[in-house]
Structure 1
Amino acid sequence: MSKAERDALDNKLSQRFIHLDPAGYFIIYIDHEQQRIWMKHYPNAINEKGLAVDPQTGEPIPTKGKVLREPDVVLSGRTAKELCIELFEKERKFVTMFDHAAYLGRELMRAQFCLDAGIDYIQD
């Protein structure tokens, strides 16, 4: 399979329906100057339609545009492995679903690759 075919497959799989983790979600970004990967965790609730909603207001959390919420936790690390240990081997449970854990592992590896390569990272 060529790289173009793998990219097309990944793009197709990114469009599938996913169940959202009731423990919340992460926004991941990198800081080239500090040479760190950053993660902001936001709690959410899941409504009867399967949408992520603000647990305080019950309003759906938009998937595009600026969201004016404060994270409950901010984590940073130098590597994907360092952050995965923080996420999955500590007492606080940020993730309650295996597919969410796998997604975060993939995204953190992509973020580390971009940090190492000196290129921009955009979370999938």
Structure 2
Amino acid sequence: MIIADTIKTIDDELSKRYIELDPAGYFIIYLDRDAGLICAKHYTNIINEKGLAVDPETGKVIPAKGKVERTAQTLYTARTAKELCVKIIEDTKPCPVGFLDHAAYLGREFVRAQQALISGEDYIQD
């Protein structure tokens, strides 16, 4: 388990770094176990002068934690992480992801969601 512990330590440390928010929006990822699907709701946002995500309709800052009542722009669903990446990154024009680091993050999360779908474990977006 030394390798697993080392990987977790590295990932936990990297999760603390500053990440610039994507002006193209953000995704809420979840599983539809009954349908066997990975789901990703895309929400639009505006990044204000302080670097905070703002609801384009209300002008209010979107909190990072807690429940937010907003309407998703688009719902993407797929059976695998790769299929979902292709739908969002390659097939959607214009692409709803503006930053490469955001695309990489989504790919990692889709793989985690796929693993949870296969294993039956809970999936919680990082």
- TM-score bracket for the superposition, by shorter chain length: over 0.9
Q: 1:91-123 deviations in whole A, cap 9, x for unaligned?
A: 231101100000000000110011011111010
The residue aligned with 1:71 is 72
Which secondary structure does the structure 2 equivalent of 1:27 belong to? Answer: strand
Q: Is the 8 A contact 2:76 2:88 kept in 1?
A: no
Q: TM-score, normalised by structure 2?
A: 0.94
- Stretches of structure 2 that go unaligned for 5 or more consecutive residues are none
Q: CA deviation at 1:3?
A: 1.1
Distance 2:49 2:18 in 1: 15
5+ residue gaps, structure 1: none
TM-score by length of 1: 0.95
Equivalent position of 1:110 in the other structure = 112
Distance 1:79 1:29 in 2: 13
Q: CA deviation at 1:4?
A: 1.1
The letter of the residue matching 1:101 is: A
Query: Which amino acid counterpart does residue 124 of structure 2 have in structure 1?
Result: I
Aligned structure 1 segments of 4 or more residues deviating by more than 3 angstroms: none
Provide the C-alpha distance between the structure 2 equivalents of 1:4 and 1:115, rounded to a whole number of angstroms. 23
Percent identical pairs in the alignment equals 55
RMSD: 1.0
